[in-house]
Structure 1
Amino acid sequence: MATIEIANQLKANDLANQVKTDLKRRQISITGIAPSETAEHIKNSFNRHLHYTLVKDRNGATSRDYYQALAHTVKDHLVSRWIRTHQHYYDTDPKRVYYLSMEFYMGRTLTNTMVNLGIQDACDDATYKLGLDIEELESIEEDAGLGNGGLGRLAACFMDSMATLGLAAYGYGIRYDYGIFEQKIEHGWQVEKPDEWLRYGNPWEAARPEYVLPVRFYGRIEQTEQGSKWVNTKLVYAMAYDTPVPGYGNNTVNILRLWSAKAPNNFDLKFFNNGEYLQAVCDRNLAENISRVLYPNDRCFEGRELRLKQEYFLVSASLQDIIRRYQASKPGDFECARSSFACFIDKVAIQLNDTHPSLAIPELMRILIDEEGMTWQAAWNIVTKTCAYTNHTVLPEALERWPVPLFEKLLPRHLQIIYFINHLFLEEVQLHWPGDIERLQRMSLVEEGEEKKINMAHLSIVGSHAVNGVSRIHTEIIKNGIFKDFYEMYPEKFQNKTNGITPRRWLLMCNPSLSTVISEKIGDDWITNLSALHKLTEYQNDENVLRSIMDAKLLNKSKLAAYIKKEFGIDVNPNSMFDIQVKRIHEYKRQLMNCLYVITLYNRIRKGQSLDMVPRTVMIGGKAAPAYHMAKLTIKLINNVANVCNNDPTISEKLKVVFLENYRVSLAEIIIPAADLSQQISLAGTEASGTGNMKFMLNGAVTIGTLDGANVEMMEEVGEENFFMFGMTEEEVEQLWKDGYYPKLYYEQNAELKEALDQINGGFFSPEDPGLFRDIFNSLVFHDRFCVLKDFESYVNCQQRVNDLYKFPEQWAKMCLLNIAASGKFSSDRTISEYAKDIWGVTPTDVKLPPPPSSEPTTTASE
């Protein structure tokens, strides 16, 4: 095959127009190109909403008004499907799945909805006829950033897959007034700004004031003849807001129900007369603070009262709603009265997304015992067969352990229930291992120490019928490491469910140029059956296909380069290697290793030792938790290094460094399709799975990574020869610490590493404050908890292999194709199918529901 000379095929000066043209090629849709009358209908609907919903005309309307009109127009196409879906659920009475998560990182809704409903072409056509730019309108939408990172984004992918697979599934979360903060970089430092995603309203949600449910806190326990009673509580109300979640091409629309805290409505007029009016108003605000802001600190567990309130607020409102829906459902094939809980486990599955919603276990026990009058054993049988728990972390500092005094103050009845669960559980442990006091202490739900604490992971395991990790290596770690005692006691509970991503958002929607190339060769089946991508291997030696894939890549790189120029004023070369690491800033994710390598490259170029180096643009993005000093210092270092590199004319042709400010879902949709190299370099045994790694792979990036999380399975799928692997294995890390790890030895033995660290420590990158980065130096040289210095030489050698291969575009293109072809396993459709079969006891369906005519309103049981 002839060498693919990308620069000669597409001139950089013409790329902007080609990118725009490419993004208008909406060739993949469910129904094909929409007929002109459909576009005309959308145009008319758009004008109707502009006039009657927004009360604007074309003379006074802003771009945001046009976005809102288009959003309402698209939502119109959801409504009949939404109602019809829940009519169907009422009529057929399936087992319902409830996904409880403190985070749902949904991103933008407009484009994803158009894609899933198959009306993207018609909307393109309609907006064009209206003289509007649909890309501009799409960009106006605020991200729904109700999550810190991977946990919340996974929940969003799962919601998409559950709808696409036709499952009767509901997401439950909190409608935070402020989501993950907006990140600004000022003088190289991260500055947090409030995320006012609701400032202009949310056209996608539907408020449900009829579902205002009471949630109680504080109070005391009173012993009565009927048992324990929780009395003298303070009341907060939870109001539901529903967001529709459409499946792809099947007319199924599920619900993401988010709860907003509301103060009680009673307001005593005496406050006007006795001077306590202002205090009464302030008290109402305090009650509503529960849903005010997403906790941005996922670095380590913090036992804050507001966080515990949020967690209980979520599960209390959600369980009341779940029980209400269960009791209101049509009986169907089950001959049991819904006033009893006899068939609850046959009709309800509850998935706990990490330990944050684990209070569902004692709360459901409380409801069944205190309010429904059940015996302990009957209630416990329902709870354990209904609840299942997904673990997302093995880092000890991230595991939830709530102080008993705080629990006793806020949720006294639940503490009482947890104590009794623990009592019965430890009796069971004692039967298995008589006299093993150390094991009893390790497994107890109540940890003794200076301050008693409730271990929420232990509660989640004991109170669930299934416990799963999110990658094969992660599951083995929890079975043989942090939860080994529980695995030995309940081996049947533990299983693996490797994470996945939705191909609709993360290929079809965000990368239309590549999607078009794929569909032209293998058809559209991959959109709902990602394993079909394997057919691409037939084209691994096809020069035209490889050229088309790299053309698509260059178009995406040019779009990202234009964004960087516009937002940051930095010129980057689209023909350079785009080397990208985007994720939360955390020591275990080892952005510092990447930064040390950039400094090494900088030093080599300055010394004339880089003759064989291909031009490289290194991009790092991510947010640091506001209280995480080392992460924020890492961001400052990256920006200072970038400032030095980008302003040195002797190296800027070879190396550019960009910190991608305010990384979020909508920015990821631009970054990921443009990546050549994906950095997934966490220390082996620390990342549970990762999903960003899968998104890059699906879009044709090659991975440089450790054998950590889902990287292991990705390398197995694509083959070691198509994956740049380096560093220690999890077993080698464990052995290193057993033998004794002395990072200073690696600092002293590696000249390039020593030079880079000395520059950091000596103020080369901070001449105005030479001691600014001393904490980074000391952390790495004297502690290095995540073995950056140990793995550095292996990383540098691996990066040299990357550099050498990138010189041969045809070989690189083949590797890109093979990565795309091997990514079929990492669909969230596959993951959810496994949850459905192995944990929830439900069956996906490919039945497509017929939407009722939009002119005929319908009624259904309330959802």
Structure 2
Amino acid sequence: MDLRQGLGLRRLGRTADEFQQDLLSTLYYRRGTTVESASARDAYETLSLTVRDRLAERRARTAAAHFATNPRWVYYLSAEYLLGAQLEQNLLYSGTGELAAEAVKTLGFTLEELEGLDIEPGLGNGGLGRLAACLVDAMATRDIPAVGYGIRYDFGIFKQSISGGAQAECPDDWAFQGNPWEFPAPDDRQTVGFYGHTEPVPGSQTRKRWIPGEVVLGEPSHMLVPGYGTETVNIVRLWRARGSEASFDLSRFSAGQYAEAVQEAVRAENISKVLYPDDSTELGRELRLKQQYFLCSCSLRDIIRRFRLRNSDWSDFADKTVIQLNDTHPTIAIAELMRLLVDEYELEWDQAWSITRRTFAYTCHTLLPEALETWPVHVFERLLPRHLEIIYLINMFFLREVEERFPGDTDRLRRMSIIQEEPERRVRMAHLAVVGTEAVNGVAELHSKLLRETVLNDFADLWPAKFQNVTNGISPRRFIKIANPRLSDLITEGLGGEGWLSDLDQLAGLEALADDASFLERWRAIKRANKVDLAAGDPDSLTDVMIKRFHEYKRQQLKLLHIITLYHRIRNDPGGDWVPRTVLFAGKAAPAYHAAKDIIRLINAVGSTIAADPVVSPYLKVVFAENYNVTLAERIIPAADLSEQISLAGKEASGTGNMKLALNGALTIGTLDGANIEIRARVGADNFFLFGLDAFQAAELRYSGQYRARDNYERDGELRAAIDAIQSGAFGGVGHEVAGSLLGWDEYLTLADYRAYVDCQDHVDRVWRDQATWSRMSVLNTAHSGFFSADRTVSDYAARIWRVAPVPVPRDED
């Protein structure tokens, strides 16, 4: 007898008629309307709930299998999850796409109409959130018992629009009409404290009693994360801040002081209101730290609750629990677990510290010093007084360990201390993350090497075995099966089945088709059809794509200089044999990052100038696609011919957009940075357009003190013409700040790499003219992208860091 039968539950329909009956029952009894009066929104919600029920059935069997096995769990703590729109993916993973397409016709709608109403959850900003989504998907696909923890933001990062060529931000109220994929669980609320003071506990050197000055509630909901080709359904649990009952002042409300009556509740709910509140003010910085602690406190209490369902001995905790910190945002969890174990569960310090260090693992996603979070000590002291005391103790014991290993090396002690003393006392969260974890990993081979040799080299000297590499990966289900169904179907036909979707190494079989003229013709036709769907420009032009967060190190400004150079070349030789290009940008700049916003403004100004020029516009088009998100990426990536991965070498940790584009057959032009190195090694140097300084050359040039950006400007006529055009106001008077930054410090060596980049783009043009060669290279990029599956990434984590085994979930045989 299976779980459903044991509970007396009916079987959900599997035939077309049964699925339709389930759909109508949901419409009548849960949506509360009828076929005759159902709106498109009614139909969308009804279909979503009907599909969700099938995943919930698998979720119940997953939970039963996990409870019976009592395995080691992976808990993934991340400030971001960019899960993408859910309906199409869940139809695929539940195997109900054809049933749904037929059933919704009874409601008077098509499946495509309803999929168009599906809004992606605004729970992330960029690559960090996209990676987290791919990894939780892969954990379920690999049958790994796992829970993702995050914050249920009321508003996403922001909706981007372009107004007058400039980025404008407005709230992303993604859940305004509700979220049918979400299960609220108000009965599992957790209590979180802030401010207040600590009191000593008699007889203990390390234990304290924390008396918070403010208390908020963390209310969870969860979304289902099904695996592909398996019965496992894991969850992402999301926390939303709520005021306590005492946060509403009835006496003030009765006196007409309505705003004052709810101010405490509003202050509490601000914690989960917006992803990454602006931290340019003291209050903003405090709110960010509040947000991070809120996530960690709620999640750790829930993790402990889950542990105690089947276990009672704290010595088993680290054997049953591994907590992966996705970057530094959740690092305060280390101090919080120590507080819970020492202060609340009354473990001795040494035992608690042993448990903590064996429980946590840390993924570092950056090489930029400004991205390695630090917090002013005075902010910590006011907001989390007990945690600062714990961090001081951790640091004291840690520095003793360093002193024993490197006696008399005071400079090393200063560099490695969790507390930075000069110029301001700050808590170094990356240092805490390394000290308080069992494993630290970078996310690409170069990135991990540079972490060991530069950013965290002192720690690597102390604990060389702690540092590892796990190269990032992406979900082939979302980023080719869903995003590029035409190409997915051709690959399935070429390989003789869909097994590649859960074993991406099978793509290597496409290599045998790379010289098949008929196959290459169909490959080209699919790319063209995708470009027609995108409707960004001439589908026969070279579609040149740069889609990523706007940051000067990613060097959208270098791409822009190339565009201006092409503009000048075409104007100077209007009868030339030019390769038509459509250059498409997409990405957001942080609201307070004015230099990045200046680049966006200049891109749009240059694009407008080109569009108005009858000589140039037939050959060159610049498009800025606003409000970049997963849904937009799924439209752009299948249409891309050329993938721009041109960050300054040594600055990009890994990248995942580069992997998605290569998987879909785009050829990469890039530096030896992040995962570009591994992509080039696998697709072949002949199928990758390489240019520019490598990481060590870039570092040597910058730190030699000999680099002078203006030297490149003075000796390169095309570069000089491009910058002079910006400075002269040729593009609507926009861009003086961008040109000034490039001619001044040029922090990311844009001008140093300009000539190599432009020359490499000329080579791109030459290859493009031979479409057979280009198509062959495109096929080989896809064929050799198997390594970049998130399934492989998760398998690496599971074997080398988490030490967890799959727990298969039995199928429902009824």
Post-superposition Cα deviations, 1:452-501, rounded to whole Å, max 9, x if no partner, equal: 00000000000000000000000000000010000000001000000000
CA contact (8 A) 1:300 1:397 kept: no
Distance 1:602 1:451 in 2: 48
Counterpart for residue 207 of structure 1: 184
SS in 2 for 1:764: coil
Counterpart for residue 6 of structure 1: none
Which of 711, 715, 724 is equivalent to 2:689? 724
Distance 1:560 1:374 in 2: 59
Distance 1:299 1:550 in 2: 48
Q: Quick check: 701-710 or 735-744, which moved more?
A: 735-744
Change (3 A) 1:444 1:305: same
Counterpart for residue 335 of structure 1: none
SS in 2 for 1:832: helix
Counterpart for residue 718 of structure 2: 752
Which of 61, 66, 87 is equivalent to 1:89? 66
Letter in 2 for 1:541: D
1:260 and 2:240 aligned: yes
Distance 1:297 1:731 in 2: 34
Deviation at 1:50, TM superposition (A): 2.8
Counterpart for residue 697 of structure 1: 662
CA contact (8 A) 2:35 2:107 kept: no
1:787 and 2:732 aligned: no
Change (3 A) 1:300 1:618: farther
Counterpart for residue 32 of structure 2: 55
Distance 1:538 1:450 in 2: 60
Counterpart for residue 398 of structure 2: 425
Q: Quick check: 118-127 or 375-384, which moved more?
A: 118-127
Change (3 A) 1:776 1:545: same
Counterpart for residue 552 of structure 1: 526
Deviation at 1:125, TM superposition (A): 3.0
CA contact (8 A) 1:117 1:251 kept: no
1:311 and 2:292 aligned: yes
Letter in 1 for 2:779: L
1:590 and 2:552 aligned: no
Counterpart for residue 231 of structure 1: 211
1:821 and 2:783 aligned: yes
Letter in 2 for 1:743: A
Counterpart for residue 575 of structure 1: 540
Post-superposition Cα deviations, 1:36-95, rounded to whole Å, max 9, x if no partner, equal: 972333333333333333333344433222221211121121111111110111111111
Distance 2:357 2:33 in 1: 54
Deviation at 1:851, TM superposition (A): 3.5
Counterpart for residue 514 of structure 1: 487
SS in 2 for 1:103: coil
Question: Considering only aligned residues, what root-mean-square deviation do their CA atoms show, in Å?
Answer: 1.9
Change (3 A) 1:54 1:848: same
Change (3 A) 1:759 1:575: same
Distance 1:613 1:410 in 2: 61
SS in 2 for 1:91: helix
CA contact (8 A) 2:61 2:809 kept: no
Counterpart for residue 611 of structure 1: 576
CA contact (8 A) 1:300 1:399 kept: no
1:374 and 2:354 aligned: no
Counterpart for residue 111 of structure 2: 134
- Identity of counterpart residues, as a percentage? 48
Distance 1:648 1:71 in 2: 48
Distance 1:694 1:298 in 2: 32
Which of 496, 503, 507 is equivalent to 2:476? 503
Letter in 2 for 1:326: F
Change (3 A) 1:301 1:765: farther
CA contact (8 A) 1:301 1:400 kept: no
Distance 2:86 2:275 in 1: 20
Deviation at 1:648, TM superposition (A): 1.5
Distance 2:114 2:755 in 1: 47
**1:102-501 correspondence runs (5 A):** 102-128=79-105, 130-225=107-202, 226=204, 227-266=207-246, 267=248, 269-271=250-252, 278-295=259-276, 304-329=285-310, 338-501=311-474
Distance 1:197 1:39 in 2: 32
CA contact (8 A) 1:117 1:249 kept: no
Structure scoring higher RCO (CA < 8 A, sep ≥ 6) equals 1
CA contact (8 A) 1:299 1:586 kept: no
Distance 2:71 2:259 in 1: 50
SS in 1 for 2:614: coil
Counterpart for residue 850 of structure 1: 811
Change (3 A) 1:273 1:296: closer
Deviation at 1:275, TM superposition (A): 6.7
Change (3 A) 1:608 1:272: closer
CA contact (8 A) 1:389 1:468 kept: yes
Change (3 A) 1:821 1:450: same
Deviation at 1:300, TM superposition (A): 13
Post-superposition Cα deviations, 1:484-522, rounded to whole Å, max 9, x if no partner, equal: 000000001000000000111011111111111111121
CA contact (8 A) 2:229 2:502 kept: no
Letter in 1 for 2:654: S
Distance 1:302 1:610 in 2: 59
Post-superposition Cα deviations, 1:741-794, rounded to whole Å, max 9, x if no partner, equal: 10101011111111111111110001xxx3x42111110011110011010100
SS in 2 for 1:531: helix
CA contact (8 A) 2:574 2:615 kept: no
Distance 2:146 2:226 in 1: 12
Counterpart for residue 30 of structure 1: none
- Unmatched runs of 5 consecutive residues or more in structure 1: 1-35, 330-337, 565-571, 854-863
Post-superposition Cα deviations, 1:825-846, rounded to whole Å, max 9, x if no partner, equal: 000000000101111111235x
Letter in 2 for 1:777: A
Counterpart for residue 857 of structure 1: none
Distance 1:837 1:65 in 2: 45
Which of 682, 686, 709 is equivalent to 2:651? 686
Counterpart for residue 3 of structure 2: none
**Count of paired positions:** 797
Counterpart for residue 26 of structure 1: none
**1:617-628 correspondence runs (5 A):** 617-628=582-593
Distance 1:218 1:280 in 2: 21
Deviation at 1:194, TM superposition (A): 0.5
Counterpart for residue 776 of structure 1: 738
Distance 1:736 1:498 in 2: 28
Distance 1:488 1:793 in 2: 39
Deviation at 1:148, TM superposition (A): 1.1
Letter in 1 for 2:20: K
SS in 1 for 2:188: strand
CA contact (8 A) 2:241 2:269 kept: yes
Distance 1:299 1:126 in 2: 52
CA contact (8 A) 1:475 1:495 kept: yes
Post-superposition Cα deviations, 1:655-703, rounded to whole Å, max 9, x if no partner, equal: 1110011111001001001100010100000000000000000001110
CA contact (8 A) 1:148 1:296 kept: no
Letter in 1 for 2:713: Y
CA contact (8 A) 2:277 2:284 kept: no
Distance 2:264 2:563 in 1: 52
1:541 and 2:507 aligned: no
Change (3 A) 1:498 1:424: same
CA contact (8 A) 2:474 2:788 kept: yes
Letter in 1 for 2:649: A
Which of 62, 67, 71 is equivalent to 2:44? 67
SS in 2 for 1:812: helix
Deviation at 1:132, TM superposition (A): 2.3
Change (3 A) 1:710 1:297: farther
CA contact (8 A) 1:220 1:412 kept: yes
- Unmatched runs of 5 consecutive residues or more in structure 2: 1-12
Change (3 A) 1:189 1:278: closer
Q: Quick check: 38-47 or 742-751, which moved more?
A: 38-47
Deviation at 1:621, TM superposition (A): 0.7
